[in-house]
Amino acid sequence: MAKEITPRGEDYSKWYIDIVKKAGLADNSAVRGCMVIKPYGFAIWENMQRELDRMFKETGHQNAYFPLFIPKSFLSKEAEHVEGFAKECAVVTHHRLMNDPDGNGVVVDPSARLEEELIVRPTSETIIWNTYRDWITSYRDLPLLVNQWANVVRWEMRTRLFLRTAEFLWQEGHTAHATKAEAIEEAKQMQRVYATFAEEFMAMPVVQGAKSANERFAGAEDTLTIEALMQDGKALQAGTSHFLGQNFAKAFDVKFSNQNNKEEYVWATSWGVSTRLIGGLIMTHSDDDGLVLPPRLAPLQVVIVPIPKPNGEINEVAEDLMAALKAKGISVKYDQDKKKRPGFKFAEYEMMGVPVRIGIGKRDLENGVVEVARRDTKEKTQVALEGLADHIQQLLEDIQDNLLAKAKAYRAEHTTEVNSFEEFKEVLQNKGGFVSAHWDGTSETELKIKELTKATIRCIPNDAVEEEGTCVLTGNPSKKRVLFAMAY
Amino acid sequence: MAKEITPRGEDYSKWYIDIVKKAGLADNSAVRGCMVIKPYGFAIWENMQRELDRMFKETGHQNAYFPLFIPKSFLSKEAEHVEGFAKECAVVTHHRLMNDPDGNGVVVDPSARLEEELIVRPTSETIIWNTYRDWITSYRDLPLLVNQWANVVRWEMRTRLFLRTAEFLWQEGHTAHATKAEAIEEAKQMQRVYATFAEEFMAMPVVQGAKSANERFAGAEDTLTIEALMQDGKALQAGTSHFLGQNFAKAFDVKFSNQNNKEEYVWATSWGVSTRLIGGLIMTHSDDDGLVLPPRLAPLQVVIVPIPKPNGEINEVAEDLMAALKAKGISVKYDQDKKKRPGFKFAEYEMMGVPVRIGIGKRDLENGVVEVARRDTKEKTQVALEGLADHIQQLLEDIQDNLLAKAKAYRAEHTTEVNSFEEFKEVLQNKGGFVSAHWDGTSETELKIKELTKATIRCIPNDAVEEEGTCVLTGNPSKKRVLFAMAY
């Protein structure tokens, strides 16, 4: 080895990028702000997709696919949507190249200008609601529960691999309902689905809450969010679920005839998570030796390393063990590469965040044991060959649980109730994390706090307790605490 | 009912579009040439993806993701590639919209012009080989076996749902190898994978062969293809696998140091299938009553219809049956809708191509039987309740086999050996299908035949027998027959 990575304490941003690159997750590309997701990073995304897709289908959703392009005029149809959202985007103006008359490769054919420019979708509410007009005529067509896995483009000025890129992969659910209550319940349900996924699979605890008016999705009446806390004390918005009211139905004239044969506008939700989740996964668990992955999302759960190199006896034990682990649905690799020494391999698999490493050496075998190292705690133990596969299966579950418990403890430690603005600033400055504070509910106060501290309201937690209090900034009365933080 | 569809005999093109729309597979969108893939159509694509992805992984490939955009200059780097290919495409020239100063929505911000235009990928060889330069330095990095599932855009002038659309979904494999022989074998392997998928899952027999120089992918040294025959006697190119030689490695300067520490250019392949396969699936099996789906790709394999409507006894039988079928991994729906009559439902599920329909009526139950209708032959039989799930499982396999056998018989009947140009034209004109003829191997002759008849060489079959013959057009000597056809 060793691919060195910058320690977190030295430069958190550089640590993050080092892990992304050195664990082989993603890389910058020749196109400004667009990333290449490498096979190992994409395998994590595939695991996330598989579980999320299952959860979406279990809650009655179907997948579909809508066009990449949106006619420019569509973006203006929902006034707030275009105002808050769709300005920085990729605009297609022509549909043909031609040979450069001067012989220098190809140039845009000026005669192939589009009548109306097309926007590469930054999100698909407009094109989808324009389509739903044809799909929905009666209450019998509702609810319409559709999801799409897609790429989207937002022309971000400052990008960071996975966390903020010009192109990213995501899913966007777009549902249509006959009643307001049903749409609100759908938005809540998907928030719960996201929270369950984050906790059970990513081992990333999240706070479920609502965004303040200021931080809502452009065109939404309510934006629900799941907010996670990273190891540098900054919050990450990990997924959002929007109740859109009848805004898009009105903008695109989508009505249904109800059971009394009267026409009404349809109620809508949309909800999405993206490859940003991979950024959250990295920053929740990883350490100065590299990536740490929760077993349920790790592309490779167990690696077996022969010590110092493969031989007949070791191979036999390794192959039996592989078969036993595979039979339990555990992914495993036996690294027989003779050109690399065990120490090199250990560092490599630590960098990649493989949850469990098993070292098989001749001397250990004589004692009927192998060495089992867990990536999360870096603890090593001698484990008997007998019952080893069962032990590993249990260990993977323990690691999954431990990662969640550790992240929860970190969050608990870094969630601080404050009761004055001095305290607010002090905690933000020196400790970071979520700051739980009373707020008078106005956008003015929120913006003033942001201006003074750069902190934003991450959410009004769903489980916020009703209590009498006074706003940390203005002293005006407040009924509940909200969570502030610095955020990605 | 009845959603009427145009009979094939009356207007084949209209029949095709009727099926796509009335079975709920896809629709046109507000964006010229781009389609909306509806949930039922997308579910077929998901089934295709799942099987193909498994086959790719079983042959050692990993998925990754590369940028949607390609810098314009990249397209000129491989001379033949740009010449033959990349002219009709979507060109991004700007990255921002702004409010129209005149108050009419949004307009393109003229100050946000890109320094270099970006092309929405029509295929990704260029951006991927530009990336591979960083990934490959030594023979130890090879082979590199990567696949990507993605959307691509080709600005087609005349589009048809699934068969030819401006945007479509596909997978593109891009592999890098140390030797020419290995790359050629990879290209052949993927042709075999595609052929296996087409026959075993789509029940669509294909001819495996090589394209003539004229019909090769721009930038390829050899293009292998799988060619299917549609019910109107036209051929469909269903998948291609290209041996790219060192063309892209040279264009993007991708070298590796071999075992003797000498630098060499890397050898390449690329291969892809797309949502066009859904068009092929439709045109291979469907009839004048609607879609016919092979059970292995059908989103819904069995539907149970109560006759005339649900009641306690029927529900109980239906639920037991559903449980038994699900336990066998068979997808099944019990249609309890009381507002629709059985005849309406029958027509609906026929339109959707559900392979097996089970009617449960009171009188039949008294006799311990149900009515089982198979979509492919439209045959109905009384089947005993006892052992019903086993019967259905076997029936699904029979339907799968029958569809393939039927398609093979159609193809055999519509593959005609001809030995003169008169015969050639006569068969093309009156019978259609594949015309197996001797050809002198020159591009001139091929182009002349295309000009005279509109037929193209679909492929030089892998299993073509060596035989002495004379070209149907020129009378020049020929060593093997090739397949001509009119094509999509």
Question: pLDDT tens digit string along A454-474?
Answer: 999 999 999 999 999 999 999
Say if residue A1's pLDDT is above 60. Answer: no
pLDDT of residue B86: 60
Quick one: B143 and B259 in the same domain? yes
CB proximity B39 to A under 8 Å: yes
Confidence band (pLDDT; 50, 70, 90) for A3? low
Q: Is residue B246 part of a domain?
A: yes
Task: Output the domain CATH number for residue A470.
Answer: 3.30.110.30
Q: Are residues B279 and B320 in the same domain?
A: no
Helix axes of A39-58 and A180-200: crossing angle, nearest 10 degrees: 140
A105 within domain boundaries: yes
Residue A315 maps to a domain: yes
* Residue B74: predicted pLDDT: 93
Which residues 81-140 of A are in CB contact (within 8 Å) with B? 82, 86-98, 104-109, 117-120, 127, 130-131, 134
The total of other beta-carbon atoms located within 10 Å of residue B258's CB is: 14
Cβ within 8 Å, pair B31-A105: no
Q: Which residue, B31, B181, B152, is CA-closest to B89?
A: B152
The pLDDT score that the predictor gives to residue B85 is 65
pLDDT at A289: 96
Q: Does residue B236 lie within any of the structural domains?
A: yes
Residue of B nearest to A79 (CA): B105
Closest Cβ opposite residue A88 in set B89, B93, B96: B96
* Of residues B131, B81, B133, B132, the one with CA closest to residue B247: B81
Question: Hey, how many other C-beta atoms are within 10 angstroms of the C-beta on B212?
Answer: 20
- For residue A103, pLDDT over 90 is answered with no
Q: Which residues of B touch A64 (CB under 8 A)?
A: 36-39, 42
Residues B62 and B163 in one domain: yes
Asked if B420 and B463 count as a contact pair (C-beta separation under 8 A), the reply is no
Last residue within a domain, chosen from B348, B365, B394: B394
Report the complex ipTM. Answer: 0.97
Q: Is A13 exposed, middle or buried (0-12, 13-18, 19+ CB in 10 A)?
A: exposed
Report A:217-256 residues touching B (Cβ under 8 A). none
CA-based nearest residue in chain B for residue A66: B36
The whole-number pLDDT of residue B4 equals 86
A with B: how many residue pairs have Cβ under 8 Å apart? 195
Subunit contact B90:A69, Cβ cutoff 8 A? yes
Q: How far is CA A169 from CA A82, A150, A272, A459, in A?
A: 21, 6, 10, 25
Kindly report which listed range (A82-86, A255-259, A364-368, B289-293) carries the lowest average pLDDT score. Answer: A82-86
Radius of gyration of chain B (CA): 26
Do A267 and A228 share a domain, yes or no?
A: yes
> How many structural domains compose chain A?
3
Res. A104 pLDDT band, cuts 50 70 90: confident
Q: In whole angstroms, how far apart are CA B215 and each of A488, B164, B484?
A: 50, 17, 12
Is residue A233 within 8 A of residue A488, CB to CB? The reply is no
- Same domain as A210, residue A356: no
Under DSSP, the state recorded for B291 is: -
Domain end call among A350, A366, A396: A396
Q: What is the pLDDT of residue B1?
A: 41
- Where in B121-219 does DSSP place strands (E)? 144-153, 167-177, 207-210
Residues in A touching B75 (Cβ below 8 Å) = 97, 105-106
Question: Based on the domain organization, do B31 and B171 belong to the same domain?
Answer: yes
Indicate the pTM of the whole model: 0.97
Which of B334, B364, B394 is the C-terminal boundary of a domain?
B394
Q: Are A192 and A199 in contact (CB under 8 A)?
A: no
Does the residue A455 lie in any domain? yes
Mutate to test the interface with B, among A32, A70, A83, A91 (most CBs of B within 10 A): A91
Tally Cβ neighbours within 10 Å of residue B343.
13
- Here the CATH number for the domain that contains residue B343 is 3.40.50.800
Q: Does B60 touch chain A (CB under 8 A)?
A: no
My answer on whether A337 and A423 are in the same domain is: no
- Interchain CB distance below 8 Å, A95 and B155: yes
Answer yes or no: do A481 and A419 share one domain. Answer: yes
The vertex-A78 CA angle with A74 and A79, nearest 5°, equals 120
Whether B219 is covered by a domain: the verdict is: yes
Judging contacts by C-beta atoms under 8 Å, the chain A residues touching residue B86 are 97, 106
Domain housing A386: 302-396
Query: Both A430 and A478 in a single domain?
Result: yes
If you search the block for the tokens 């529960």, which residue do you land on? A145
Q: Which residue of A has its CA nearest to B128?
A: A36
3-state secondary structure chain A: CCCCCCCCCCCHHHHHHHHHHHCCCEEECCCCCCEEECHHHHHHHHHHHHHHHHHHHHCCCEECECCCEEEHHHHCCCHHHHHHCCCCCCEEEEEEEEECCCCCCEEECHHHEEEEEEEECCCCHHHHHHHHHHHCCEHHHCCEEEEEEEEEECCCCCCECCCECCEEEEEEEEEEECCHHHHHHHHHHHHHHHHHHHHHCCCCCCEEEECCHHHCCCCCCEEEEEEEECCCCCEEEEEEEEEEECHHHHHCCCEEECCCCCEEECEEEEEEEECHHHHHHHHHHCECCECCCCCCCCCCCEEEEEECCCCHHHHHHHHHHHHHHHHCCCCEEECCCCCCCHHHHHHHHHHHCCCEEEEEEHHHHHCCEEEEEECCCCCEEEEECCCHHHHHHHHHHHHHHHHHHHHHHHHHHCEEECCCHHHHHHHHHHCCCEEEEECCCCHHHHHHHHHHHCCEEEEEECCCCCCCEECCCCCCEECCEEEEECEC
| Residue B330 and residue B232 share a domain | no
And the tokens for B7?
A: 């009979």
Whether residue A317 sits in one domain with residue A187 = no
State the pLDDT at residue A4.
85
In terms of domains, do B355 and B273 share one?
A: no
Look up residue B454 and give its DSSP letter. Answer: S
The mean pLDDT of A56-62, rounded to a whole number, is 98
Beta bridge partners, A153, equal: A167
Within-domain flag for A223: yes
**Chain B contact for A214, CB < 8 A?**
no
pLDDT at B344: 96
A265-274 burial, b at 16+ Cβ within 10 Å, e below that, comes to bbbbbbbbbb
Nearest CB partner across the interface for B39, out of A63, A72, A98? A63
Residue A61 in contact with residue A145, Cβ under 8 Å? yes
When CB atoms are compared, the residue of A89, A91, A105 closest to B93 is: A91
Residue A259 lies in a domain: yes
CATH number at residue B47: 3.30.930.10
Alpha carbon A266 to chain centroid distance? 29
Q: Running along chain B, 488 residues long, what does each successive block of 10 average in pLDDT?
A: 81 97 97 96 98 98 98 86 77 93 86 96 96 97 98 92 97 98 98 98 98 93 98 98 97 97 98 98 98 98 96 96 98 96 96 98 94 98 97 98 98 98 97 98 97 98 96 97 97
